[in-house]
């Protein structure tokens, strides 16, 4: 287990598509996955281009390239790493599972760990490929931008696109699963592209996203020409604020399909980040029912770091392997 890296010191808006970080199209041996943010950082060399990374590299890269806030970035990174990473080698793939120096390196496209249904531009695992860009799904952006955004992806258009994609999964995926953590993750991610894919986005997230720039990130993993990261970090309180604003706008509640077009809300799901953390810890405990030795020590240390990244002492801490 690694300690967290320090935060970056300058969080102003700077040119990030610069000479030191040229776009290189993905090579056959490069791993890419369901996250357009991480894919773009790897294709520009903010992350190792091959796509095999450590938590520290992710936390630093998302700040440098996108101005994702240090605390939220650490939380998000560990939300994925504890279930999708290799606790002994400290490595995680930003796409599929692979092998590094003879050791398994597990990846963030593992369905049901952090990756989940109703993605904006990737299919549900039940319906197809859960990590490759899908142009047909992306076209819901064109639809929503035309309907409510004057051709741009405004906040309203982003909410509409989010709703369209949820309704599509309800209509087509008999196994559609949309409880927390996926529920909060899917909705938070709608805020991510709005807050961080817009050139020189303001602290109040005022500017809309163009369809061209959206496709550049989601489809090509490429920063638009002359791209400046957002002004000021996108930090935990803002993430919560934006996420719950979308939740209210969309009006959907956490739940599951019981066959197509039969969405059953789970009224017990509290839709909180404490619960998000709790569910990821439970999943980790089920993936590693009986670790021993160095593995047990590493998982315990990573779970401790994960709790600390929540930054909310009112959330109960869980110790599946004892204190």
177 binds, among Mg ion, ligand HEM, none (CB under 5 to 8 A by kind): none
Is the peptide bond prior to 154 cis by the omega test (within 30 degrees of 0)?
no
Q: For ligand HEM, which is the closer residue by CB, 97 or 296?
A: 97
Q: What does DSSP assign to residue 52?
A: E
Closest CA relative to residue 256, chosen from 170, 185, 163: 170
Task: Return residues touching ligand HEM (CB under 6 A).
Answer: 34-38, 58, 62, 66, 68, 73, 76-77, 80, 108, 114-116, 119-122, 189, 192-193, 196
Q: How far is it, in rounded angstroms, from Cα 303 to Cα 211? A: 39
Contact footprint for Mg ion (CB under 5 A): 115, 119, 122, 130
Enumerate helices (H) and strands (E) in the chain, giving the number of each.
10, 7
Q: 86 or 173: whose CB is closer to Mg ion?
A: 173
Residues 240, 246: Cα–Cα separation, whole Å: 10
Q: State both tokens at 312.
A: 């909310």
Least Å from the CB of residue 146 to Mg ion: 25
Helix axes 293-310, 70-84, angle to 10 degrees: 150
CA atoms 181, 115, 247, 118: torsion sign: negative
- Nearer to ligand HEM by Cβ, of 35 and 247: the residue is 35
Chain position whose Cβ is nearest to ligand HEM: 37
Q: How far apart are CA 121 and CA 134, in angstroms?
A: 6
| Most distant CA pair in the chain, distance | 58
Residue 33, CA distances (Å) to 133, 161, 203, 216 in order: 9, 21, 28, 15
- Binding-site partner at residue 145 among ligand HEM, Mg ion, none, CB < 5 to 8 Å by type: none
Under 8 Å between Cβ of 195 and 230: yes
Give me the least distance between CB of 73 and ligand HEM, in Å please. 5
Q: Which does 73 bind (CB under 5 to 8 A by kind): Mg ion, ligand HEM, none?
A: ligand HEM
User: Could you tell me the smallest distance in angstroms from the CB atom of residue 72 to Mg ion?
Assistant: 20
Least Å distance between CB 193 and Mg ion? 14
With CB cut-offs between 5 and 8 Å by kind, which of ligand HEM, Mg ion, none does residue 120 bind?
A: ligand HEM
**129 vs 319, beta carbon nearer ligand HEM:** 129
Instruction: Pick between residue 119 and residue 278 the one whose CB is nearest to ligand HEM.
Output: 119
CB of 174 to ligand HEM, least distance (A): 18
**Binding partner of residue 69 among Mg ion, ligand HEM, none, CB cut-off 5 to 8 Å per kind:** none
The nearer residue to Mg ion, 130 or 280, going by C-beta atoms, is 130
Q: Which does 213 bind (CB under 5 to 8 A by kind): ligand HEM, Mg ion, none?
A: none
Identify what 38 binds: ligand HEM, Mg ion, none; CB under 5 to 8 Å per kind.
Answer: ligand HEM
Nearer to ligand HEM, 186 or 298 (CB): 186
Which residues 6+ apart lie within 8 Å of 152 measured at CB? Answer: 145, 208, 209, 210, 211
281 alpha-carbon distance from chain centroid: 17
Q: What is the DSSP string of 231-247?
A: SS-B-HHHHHHHHHHHH
Cβ closest to ligand HEM, residue 96 vs residue 293: 96
CB 114 to ligand HEM: min, Å = 4
Q: How far is the CB of 99 from ligand HEM (least distance, A)?
A: 20
**Whole-angstrom Cα distance, residue 206 to residue 265?**
33
CB under 5 to 8 A by kind: which of ligand HEM, Mg ion, none does 234 bind? none
Least distance CB 115 / Mg ion (angstroms) = 5
């Amino acid at each position: 287990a690694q300690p967290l890296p320090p935060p970056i010191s300058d969080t102003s808006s700077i040119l990030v598509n610069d000479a030191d970080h040229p776009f290189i199209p993905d090579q056959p041996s490069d791993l890419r996955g369901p996250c357009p943010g991480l894919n773009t950082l790897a294709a520009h060399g903010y992350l190792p281009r091959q796509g095999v990374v450590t938590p520290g590299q992710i936390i630093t890269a998302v700040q440098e390239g996108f101005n994702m806030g240090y605390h939220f970035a650490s939380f998000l990174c560990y939300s994925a790493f504890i279930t999708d990473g290799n606790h002994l080698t400290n490595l995680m793939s930003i796409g599929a599972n692979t092998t590094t120096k003879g050791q398994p390196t597990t990846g963030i496209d593992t369905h049901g760990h952090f990756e989940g249904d109703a993605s904006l531009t990737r299919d549900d695992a039940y319906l197809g490929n859960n990590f490759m860009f899908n142009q047909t799904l992306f076209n819901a952006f064109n639809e929503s931008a035309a309907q409510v955004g004057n051709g741009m992806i405004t906040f309203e258009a982003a909410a509409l696109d989010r709703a369209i994609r949820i309704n599509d999964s309800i209509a087509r995926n008999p196994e559609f699963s949309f409880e927390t953590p996926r529920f909060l993750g899917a909705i938070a991610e709608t805020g991510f592209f709005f807050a961080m894919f817009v050139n020189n986005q303001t602290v109040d997230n005022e500017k809309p996203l163009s369809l061209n720039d959206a496709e550049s990130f989601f489809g090509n993993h490429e920063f638009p020409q002359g791209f400046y990261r957002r002004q000021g970090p996108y930090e935990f309180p803002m993430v919560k604020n934006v996420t719950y604003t979308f939740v209210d706008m969309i009006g959907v509640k956490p739940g599951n399909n019981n066959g197509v077009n039969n969405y059953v809300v789970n009224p017990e799901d509290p839709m909180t980040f404490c619960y998000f953390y709790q569910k990821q810890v439970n999943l980790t405990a089920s993936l590693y029912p009986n670790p021993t030795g160095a593995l047990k020590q590493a998982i315990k240390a990573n779970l401790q770091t994960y709790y600390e990244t929540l930054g909310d002492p009112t959330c109960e801490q869980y110790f599946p392997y004892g204190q």
